[in-house]
Amino acid sequence: MFPAVTECLDMGGKIWKIDPIEPEQAAIREAAGIIRRGGVVVFPTTGLYGLGADGWNVDAIERVFHVKNRPAANPILILVPDAEVISTLVEEIPSEAREIIHRFWPGSVTLVFRARSPVSPLLTAGTGKIGIRLPAHPAAAQLVSTVGAPITGTSANLSGEPGVSNVGDLPGEIIDRVDMVLDAGSLQGGQGSTVVDVTTDPPTVLREGMVSAARMTQPPSGRY
């Protein structure tokens, strides 16, 4: 039923080629099941490939740090299946954050909130703040929706190295350490998401990425 998936397995079945627009559901279900069981999956986002693990599973989050050789002092953002989930993760959603969500989600803007206590300090790196994004890429959106819980969204690279927009550029260490790779072909590339801290008044652009700081600070159009 899913020949595009089953005929394109590689690396002993670890790499699954998927359609970037209409990802095969067999692959999405397999990846979601791996994540629910505490595994780590490489998956496509709009610009770069990311590492997905259960955002509530401390052991799985620790695995992401191991896969990337990431220092514990560096926080990890999470992806959510819908905006309604945010309230389970953060202390408050300021009005400025709601405006940004309305204008730019789903998309390449990560918002940084004050985290509620159930959120693992591994994700916040002890800062008490958590980065959250609603993904726009069809595979990423379907993956987190199928998991039914927040997943990590950090880039699939070794710490200090650039992110990758092609599976062929993934470091061998990354492929060896993860459980599955969803290969959607060449991605847009670029600088990753724009990161905005909405705990400050006004919000602070911490990192300019695919959405420019100038566009972030433009007043909304009349329909908002």
- What is the amino acid identity at position 167? V
Taking phi over 0 as left and psi of -120 to 50 as alpha, with beta for the rest, 76 belongs to beta
Residue 222 inside a domain? The answer is: no
Strand pairing of 151-152 and 15-17?
unpaired
Give the closest residue to 198 by CA, choosing from 135, 111, 129: 111
CA distances from 214 to 107, 112, 218 (A): 16, 18, 6
Sheet holding 194-197, edge to edge: 151-152, 78-79, 129-133, 109-114, 194-197, 204-207
Residue 137 inside a domain? The answer is: yes
63-90 pLDDT tens trace:
999 999 999 999 999 999 999 999 999 9
H helical segments located in the chain: 3-6, 25-36, 58-68, 95-104, 121-124, 138-147, 172-177, 213-217
The CATH number given to whatever domain includes residue 148 is 3.90.870.10
Q: What is the pLDDT of residue 222?
A: 47
Is 20's pLDDT higher than 90?
Answer: yes
Tell me the Cα Rg of the chain. Answer: 17
Q: What is the pLDDT of residue 191?
A: 79
Domain residues for 107? Answer: 3-217
Q: What is the pTM of this model?
A: 0.90
99-119 pLDDT tens trace:
999 999 999 899 999 999 999
115-155 pLDDT tens trace:
999 999 999 999 999 999 999 999 999 999 999 999 999 99
Percent of the chain at pLDDT exceeding 90: 84
Q: How many domains does the chain have?
A: 1
Strand pairing of 41-44 and 180-183?
parallel
Q: What is the pLDDT of residue 11?
A: 52
37-58 pLDDT tens trace:
999 999 999 999 999 999 999 9
